[in-house]
Amino acid sequence: MGLPETLYARSGELNIAYQVVGEGPLDVVFVPGVISHLDLQWALPGARLFFERLASFSRLILFDKRGAGLSDPVAGPAPLEQRMDDLRAVMDAAGSKRAAIIGLSEGAPLAILFSASYPERVSALALCGAFICGNLDADDNPGGEHFVQTAKLVDEAMRDWGSGRMMRLFAPSAEGSLLHQGMASFERAAASPRMARAFYDMNVETDVRDILPTVSVPTLVVHREHEIMDIEQARYAASHIPGAKLVVLPGEDHIPFFGDVDRYVGEIESFLRSPITEQPPERVLTTVLFTDIVASTERASELGDRRWRELLEEHYRTVRELLAHFRGREVTTTGDGFLACFDGPARAIRCAQTLIERLERADIPIRVGIHTGECEAIGDDLAGIAVHIGARIAAMGASGELLVSSTVKDLVVGSGISFQSHGEHVLKGIPDPWTVYRVLGDEDTDRAASTPIADDRKITARDRALLAAVRRAPALTRRLAGRSA
């Protein structure tokens, strides 16, 4: 098979590179790990075998994340919801209405969030060498001390980016100086040192544990027993995603392109080709935003009916204008407040920040609360415990204050939004205590993550020759595929 055609999907101002391989009846989207390069990965024997096996029974859609590979370079990594926009843009451009999503390593949190947010577009989910909590400060990180040690090894390897040291950490069975040189070239082409470091820094703050129970699509978790990513991360994911199946394979390679590739792909193929009962999604992951005019009864009494009605109309007009701008949806209004929903928490925060500022200038002080959780859609209305949590958090705020749940904070890593702890609270009618955060401001890295910049990735003619030599090594190809030469 020759090199697939590379196409581009438009996501906002950015171009996201993608390829479509195979003509099978099932659409499969592969979400890569920290780095990828659509063209050069086909020069790696194990990657070619892995993708060709997937494409033998599916219509396989591959893409490079913004800032990596052939996609537009950016100043910094984007938060998960912007990367969800990219994934959705690629599916739309490829004509895929519904697909099985495979998330590898750092791609797993994105695959999980997309599956929980858009279950109508996901037929199944497969997580490969996944991590679901990179927060080194979390006392209950599923990886424990092993994960801390792994982070130190990766941090050290980051200092030698482009040498191939990182790839050797994640694929220790890959032997031979030729392959190591080829992997070093792949590193340099896939991401610049700055972008690779930014991806790593974002990963050690990402935590999607709270949303695992909201995944409703059939899920497979595949993990090699002795790989660098602690197996407890996989066990945690499988035990908290309803009905998920865990498969532990022998081996030490984190990257599935190395080691016994046939068996790895075989587990995914068996899962994806098994009969799947189609059930329309009844509950979806949603970000809810509550607003409330502070001391509205007192203000109405003080201003009189006519002036109060004028203020309310200005309030309604401003809220609806900003909801449209930030892609929110009005669910209901309580007279002096709104319940709205968003498909991403960072957009909800941006909307709330602008809303507080605009209404303050109009002498309409409000408080806002935001939470992300599983909601049940009842017509145009929303129900469920997530709605109650959002309402309780909003009620705790002072004038001009924006409060969010810990789940929201964990999901907006990379957005540049800063927080301050508001303490742990027992919310009325909610069984468990929740940590609440006050939104402080914006470091403006979200805009940087969306802005194309000059590309500083370099790949030389010598690099291409090395990668071509790796591809031509048949004995190495058989060994990487787990076969006897």
Measured at the CA of 167, the angle between CA 237 and CA 449, to 5 degrees, comes to 70
pLDDT for res 474: 43
Sign of the C-alpha dihedral computed for residues 45, 50, 55 and 60 taken in this order? negative
Q: According to the 3-state scheme, what is the secondary structure of 214-254?
A: HCCCCEEEEEECCCCCCHHHHHHHHHHCCCCEEEEECCCCC
Q: Return the pLDDT at 479.
A: 43
Its sign, for the CA torsion 230, 236, 241, 243, is positive
Structure tokens given for 227: 């790989």
Q: What is the pLDDT of residues 454-468, one digit of tens each?
A: 565 555 554 555 455
Give me the half-sphere count of Cα atoms (radius 13 Å) on the Cβ side of residue 149.
Answer: 7
Strand partners, 248: 223
- Residues (pLDDT < 70) of the chain are 1, 135-139, 143-144, 175-180, 276-282, 442-485
The DSSP result for 73-87, as a single string, is: PBSSPPPHHHHHHHH
Distance between CA 292 and CA 418 in Å, rounded? 23
Structural domains in the chain plus CATH codes: 7-281+462-480 (3.40.50.1820), 283-443 (3.30.70.1230)
Distance of alpha carbon 29 from alpha carbon 101, whole angstroms: 5
* Cβ–Cβ < 8 Å for 380, 331: yes
> For position 279, what pLDDT does the model report?
61
Burial 146-164 (b: 16+ CB within 10 A, else e): bbeebbeebeebbeebbbb
In one letter, which amino acid is 69?
G
204-244 pLDDT, tens digit per residue, is: 788 899 999 999 999 999 999 999 888 999 999 999 999 99
Taking the C-alpha atoms of residue 471 and residue 473, their distance in angstroms, rounded to an integer, is: 6
| pTM assigned to the model | 0.85
With vertex at residue 238, the alpha carbon angle to CA 81 and CA 167, rounded to the nearest 5 degrees, is 65
